[in-house]
Amino acid sequence: MDQKQAGSIAKIVGVFFLTLSVFMLFLSWAIMQSEGKSGTEYLIIGLSFGSGILLLFGGINYLKSTIAKEKDIKEYENRIRAQVNTMAESGHSTHEKTTLKKDENSQEQHTTSPDVIAHWQYTLAEWKKMKKAETLRRRKEGIWVTIGIGILGGLALRFSRDASFLSSFMISFSVGILLSWLKIKFSNDMFSIRANNTITFTSKALLINNSFKIIRDSQFHLEYVKPIEIENDKYLEFSLQWQTRGGATNDQFRIYAPPHYEQEIPKILNFYNTLGVKTTS
């Protein structure tokens, strides 16, 4: 899932909160119009009105924060594109130093543009190789995840709902299939084939065929970046972690390093390491 998809989902959630708030406020108003209200009805009016107000402010704040975040990300993305275009025009493939500017009224230094660590261009064959490898990895991972969810979820439902293990297993197994399918779909969308296939590495995000994928911000924690070798092909594996209601969860994806870019791997690892990201060489 790229940043645009995540932003769209966040907006849908915000609109849902607002719609629900309108329903709760309308419900409290409708009950208030009735005559001879009982104590229970007064309680429902209070709860509906209070919930509606909370959902209204919550939905507005959620939408405002989502729009503000999208604006910041868009500005960051535009600076990345400008920096990549500048490097392309000057004939450089990577940026060696952080671009810094000292404020005249302050002794502190501030970054004026994002750090573009590397910009890789792929042939059609190289991109297809990466996409195929990721799809196969996701499928193998999905099989074990589906079986695990089926067994553990089946046991949990069996003892908590007093249902048969078979029916509990089938429900959990179906959930596992759905989750695995979604992971494969998101992976295929992220590595969809274009006429010109490129990946730009930056300190906070990856620009994959013009799709913006955040890897470091207040929501996503970049656990590690490590090099791996599969059948003489080199990859960089990224592991992201984020918080959910059920606790921390993580996911990994791999970036194929074409042979003519392999010499840039140590520099990329060193850059992320200076940011406090765990790397292995």
**6-54 pLDDT, tens per residue?**
666 677 777 887 888 888 888 778 877 776 667 777 777 788 888 888 8
Look at residue 164 in the predicted model and tell me its pLDDT: 72
Q: Give the residue from 213, 224, 221, 158 showing the smallest Cα distance to 187.
A: 213
Q: Which of 88-102, 109-123, 159-173 shows the lowest mean pLDDT across its residues?
A: 88-102
Look at residue 265 in the predicted model and tell me its pLDDT: 94
Mean pLDDT for 47-67 is 81
Report yes or no: 2 and 212 within 8 Å, Cβ to Cβ. yes
Greater confidence, 107 or 138? Answer: 138
- What residue ranges in the chain does DSSP mark as E strands? 100-102, 109-111, 116-122, 197-202, 205-208, 211-214, 221-230, 233-244, 247-257, 278-279
Supply 149's token pair: 């969810």
What is the pTM for the complete model shown? Answer: 0.61
- Cα separations in angstroms, 198 against 74, 83, 93, 209: 19, 15, 12, 5
Look at residue 107 in the predicted model and tell me its pLDDT: 36
* Average pLDDT across the chain, whole number: 77
Report yes or no: 237 and 269 within 8 Å, Cβ to Cβ. no
DSSP 91: T
Instruction: Give the domain ranges of the chain.
Output: 3-90, 115-122+196-281, 123-193
User: Is 105 strand, coil or helix?
Assistant: coil
Report yes or no: 100 and 112 within 8 Å, Cβ to Cβ. yes
- What are the strands of the beta sheet with 221-230, ordered from one edge? 247-257, 233-244, 221-230, 278-279
> What's the rounded Cα separation, in Å, for the pair 56 and 17?
7
pLDDT per position as a tens digit, 200-253: 998 888 888 877 788 888 778 899 999 999 888 999 999 988 877 667 778 889
